[in-house]
Each structure stands twice: as C-alpha cells, then as structure tokens.
Amino acid sequence: MKIIGCDFHPAMQQIAVFDTETGEYSEHQLSNGNGEAEQFYRALSGPCLIGIEACGNSHWFIDLLERLGREVRVGDAAKIRASYVRKQKTDKRDASHILTLLLEKRFPTLWTPSRQERDQRQLLIHRHKLVQMRARVKNGLQHLALNQGVQRKNKLWNKTGQKMLNQLPLEGWTDVRRQDSLALLTQLDQQIGQLDQAVEQAAESHPEARLLLQQKGVGPITALAFALTIGDVSRFAHSNQVASYLGLIPAEYSSSNKRRLGSISKQGNSFLRMLLVEAAQTATRLDPQFHKHYVHLCRNKPRAVAKVAAARKLAVRLYWILRTAQEAQKAVLIESSSRVPLVGESQTEILIERSRIQQRA
C-alpha cells in the first residue's frame, strides 16, 4: 500500500510517498496544469491512501482521486500546522509532515460534504452574492436621491418612490448612472427571485432542512444552510461543540485561577453565523420563549450581545431538532443542557407533561 502526503497548491503539488510493502520513500513535485499530476495518480497500482490539507481550489483534485478509486483524507490545516514545532516551513517539509501524521495515525481528518451538498452550497452562496450586489446598487440610488434632497429610505422602492426617482432632474453621466442602476436592479430582482424558488425547492426536498423549517423564525435559506454546514449531526457529541464549530462561543485566555473571556471566536462558517443572527431576531418576535430570553439578556447586556446569544440559542435548538429527529416543541425541553442524554418518545412525553405542570404551578 502506498501512503502519500500531499502539499497542494493551485499550480503544483509537492508529495511524499511511502510504500509500506517495500519501505521505499520518494518525493515528487507535480504540475497540475499540464496533466502531470493526473498521469501520476492514474499510474499508481494497488491501494493508496492520500492525505491533503483542507484548502481552496482543490475540489477538482479530490474528485479526480475519488473517480480513480483512491482513498482521500482531508485534514484540518490548523491542527496539522500546530502539530509541527519547527519554524522552517517548506513544501517538502509540509508534505513529509502530512505523511508522518498518516503513518502515525494522527492525521486530523475532517468531515467533507458530498458533491451534491457542495453544489447546493453554491446555490446559497450565489444568491448571497447577488443580494449583496443588489444592496450596493440600492445604496447608489439612495445616494443619488439624497443629493437631490429626496429622503424616503425604504419607501424609495415602492411605486411612488420609483416614480419620484425617475423624475429627478439629473443630467449627463448622473442620469446614465441612474438608468443603468435601475436596469441592473430589475435584472437582479428577477435573478434573486428565481434563486429563492430554487432554495425553497431544495429545502423541501432535503429531509433535515424540512425538519428545521418547523422552528419559528427559520426560513428555507437558514434551514438549508444549517443542514448543509452541519452535515452528519452525530459527529457532534453535544451542543457546545456545535456552538464552537460555528464560532458562537467566546474566545478564552485563562491561566491559573484567572479566567478571561473575550468576544466570540468567529471561527467557522461566517455565512451561516450571519444567517443565524438574522433568523434569531425573527425568532425573538415569533417564539415566546426566545422573546423572553432575549428581553432578559437586554436588561444587562448590549443588544448586539443579546442578538449573538439568541443566535447561539437558536443553533442549539436546531442541533437538537436534528439530533433527536423531533419537532421543534419537543426539542425545546433538552436544549438547555449540553450533556443531557438523548431520550425516547415515551420519556419525551413525560418531560412535556412535567413542563406543563410546572408552568401551571
């Protein structure tokens, strides 16, 4: 069996190869653009194990190895680097270090989404990019209106506001900018509307996302993004790991008997974190328990901190909905404890009845 440590770059890759049968060790530098790397992996005989750091622009390479029937493991780049103590960093050292981790069974393997899940992620990212473009176009039109003394804020986008915007006495290139921006805004609205329909269909066809839609304040975009980002929910032992995975826990700098907590770590998927913060603000209006929790936090904390806390609470609830495969109201009872054991259907009904009795009392 050949075990290969690969230090991947968009233009080339440095690999370290070890043959477990003969004990032979070799190093190679392969070019990606001229097909040299593909020819090398096609020519390999027998079983192979290939380790690679998680990095961008490597999907084509991983797909190629999977089509060739090679076993691929994608590793956590931060943990791989943290396990290397020397300050000399070269491509050869990196490839050799990845090989060493594979041989010593210390390679920090990551969960990787399927091709279909990656494609659905692109749907969400594409829509998000278009929404950002539309926001910039609207801001530009608002700027033109303000320079003419027209201040309508959101009312600028209704029929009356659009009519007023078209009637502004603009000349020269300013008028050209207005017309082009309005045409671009119309085109973006149409494209985003089509993508919204595609997201709704994808969420309805995804079993986990369809389960998350039962939670008040969670729409198709947040439900689908959460399901695609979390993936196999069983890889998280408790809800604290989910909050850490999404960067919703505070950074900590503690030593001895002193504990120092900072702002949230912001590690993980920033897109999903943004969606959770937005969905949490809707949940605080629609869900009585979320509203009570949010109002309580606002008494002692800034509103920005309370919103992030609500986003973490929402992430925990969504985690338990997926973990127990229960509807939202049944998952509420166990979301408060990160280490509570999972319960069966009969035990869940007992907990619900106890909660009702306590509320009456």
pLDDT tens digits along 248-304: 999 988 888 888 988 999 988 999 999 999 999 999 999 988 999 999 999 989 999
Two tokens at 118?
């990656």
- Tokens 């999907």 identify what position? 59
- CA gap 263, 109 in Å, rounded: 28
Instruction: Judge whether residue 59 has pLDDT over 70.
Output: yes
Residue 208: how many other CB atoms lie within 10 Å: 19
| Mean of all residue pLDDT scores within the chain | 89
- CA gap 44, 42 in Å, rounded: 6
- CA gap 71, 89 in Å, rounded: 27
Residue 193: how many other CB atoms lie within 10 Å: 10
Q: Where are the domains of the chain?
A: 2-103, 115-205, 209-360
Instruction: Judge whether residue 131 has pLDDT over 80.
Output: yes
| Helix (H/G/I), strand (E/B), else coil: 165 | helix
- Tokens 């979390």 identify what position? 230
Two tokens at 103?
């041989």
CATH architecture of the domain covering 2-103: 2-Layer Sandwich (3.30)
Q: How far is CA 182 from CA 126, 140, 188, 193, 334, in A?
A: 21, 10, 10, 17, 50
The pTM of the full predicted model, rounded to 2 decimals, is 0.84
Residue 239: how many other CB atoms lie within 10 Å: 24
Two tokens at 313?
């609470």
With left for phi above 0 and alpha for psi between -120 and 50, is residue 333 left, alpha or beta? alpha
pLDDT value of residue 157: 93
64-79 pLDDT per residue, tens: 999 999 999 999 999 9
- First-to-last C-alpha distance (Å) of the chain: 67
pLDDT value of residue 348: 52
Average pLDDT over residues 31-50: 93
Higher-scoring residue by pLDDT: 326, 185: 185
